[in-house]
Amino acid sequence: MEIHRIGRDAVVLNDQLEVPGIGFLAVNAYVLKAAEPVVVDTGLSLPDRNFVEALGSVIDPADVRWIWLTHPDRDHTGGLFDLLEAAPQARVITTYIGAGILSTERPLPLDRVYLLNPGQSLDVGDRTLTGFRPPLYDSPATVGFYDDRSRICFSSDCFGAPMPTSELAGGNEVRDVPRDALRAGQLLWATLDSPWVHNVDQTKFLGTAEPIRAMDPDVILSTHLPPAAGQLSEFLDMLATAPSSDPFIGPDQRALEEMLASFEPAAGAQV
Ligand SMILES: [Fe+2]
Ligand SMILES: [Fe+2]
Instruction: Name the residue with higher pLDDT: 150 or 269.
Output: 150
Percent of the chain with pLDDT over 70: 97
CA 157 to ligand 2 centroid distance, Å: 5
89 belongs to a structural domain? yes
Domains identified in the chain, total number: 1
CA 90 to ligand 1 centroid distance, Å: 23
Identify which of 97, 133, 137 has the alpha carbon closest to the alpha carbon of residue 118: 133
Say if CB 34 and CB 126 are below 8 A apart. yes
271 belongs to a structural domain? no
CATH assignment of the domain containing 67: 3.60.15.10
User: From CA 156, how far away is CA 21, in angstroms rounded?
Assistant: 23
Q: What is the predicted pLDDT for the residue at 269?
A: 53
185 belongs to a structural domain? yes
User: Quick one: which ligand is closest to 224's CA?
Assistant: 2
186 belongs to a structural domain? yes
CA 247 to ligand 1 centroid distance, Å: 18
CA 129 to ligand 2 centroid distance, Å: 21
177-204 per-position pLDDT tens digit? 999 999 999 999 999 999 999 999 999 9
The H helix count followed by the E strand count for the chain is 9, 13
CA 188 to ligand 2 centroid distance, Å: 14
Q: Exposure of 198 by Cβ count < 10 A (0-12 exposed, 13-18 middle, 19+ buried)?
A: middle
Q: What is the predicted pLDDT for the residue at 268?
A: 52
Q: Average pLDDT over the chain, rounded to whole?
A: 95
Please state the separation of Cα 263 from the chain's center in Å.
32
User: Quick one: which ligand is closest to 41's CA?
Assistant: 2
E strand spans, the chain: 2-6, 10-19, 23-32, 38-40, 66-68, 91-94, 113-115, 121-123, 128-132, 144-147, 152-156, 219-222, 228-229
269 belongs to a structural domain? no
CA 224 to ligand 2 centroid distance, Å: 7
Tell me: pLDDT of 265 over 70.
Answer: no
268 belongs to a structural domain? no
User: Quick one: which ligand is closest to 76's CA?
Assistant: 2
198-230 per-position pLDDT tens digit? 999 999 999 999 999 999 999 999 999 999 999
User: From CA 89, how far away is CA 166, in angstroms rounded?
Assistant: 36
Pairing of β 23-32 and β 10-19? antiparallel
CA 156 to ligand 2 centroid distance, Å: 7
CA 216 to ligand 2 centroid distance, Å: 23
Q: What is the predicted pLDDT for the residue at 55?
A: 97
Give the three-state DSSP class for 164. coil
CA 76 to ligand 1 centroid distance, Å: 8
CA 270 to ligand 1 centroid distance, Å: 43
Tell me: pLDDT of 267 over 60.
Answer: no
242 belongs to a structural domain? yes
74 belongs to a structural domain? yes
Q: What is the DSSP string of 45-67?
A: --TT--HHHHHTTTS-GGG--EE
Supply the range of the domain harboring residue 108.
Answer: 2-261
